[in-house]
Amino acid sequence: MTIWLNDTGVAPATSKSWQTTTVRHILASGRIAGLREHHGQVVGRGAWPAIITPPNATASSPA
């Protein structure tokens, strides 16, 4: 996925290119599933729409 993001020209917010650790962090975060987190713990639903559903979010999380 990191290679694809870099090849397609999708720019990351804070660097010149995507890094594997950045992509991993985004995919493992509850924010992508529309969940609000505080210090790594889910504390409720976010005010934004989910990009992936929570069951998919747990499937993409590292074991």
- Overall average pLDDT of the 15-34 stretch: 90
CA atoms within 13 A on the CB side of 37: 11
Quick one: what percent of the chain has pLDDT higher than 70? Answer: 84
Phi, psi of 62 (to 5 degrees): -65, 145
The mean per-residue pLDDT over the stretch 17-39 comes to 90
- Per-residue b/e over 15-52, b at no fewer than 16 CB within 10 Å? eeebeeebbeeebeebbbbbbeeeeeeeeeebeeebee
Rounded to whole angstroms, the Cα distance separating 25 from 35 reads 14
Q: Is this structure's pTM higher than 0.85?
A: no
Residue 26 in this model has a pLDDT that exceeds 70: yes
Rounded to an integer, the average pLDDT of 11-38 is 91
In the chain, the number of structural domains is: 1
Give percent of the chain with pLDDT exceeding 90.
52
Query: Containing domain of residue 23, as a range?
Result: 2-60
pLDDT at 15 over 60: yes
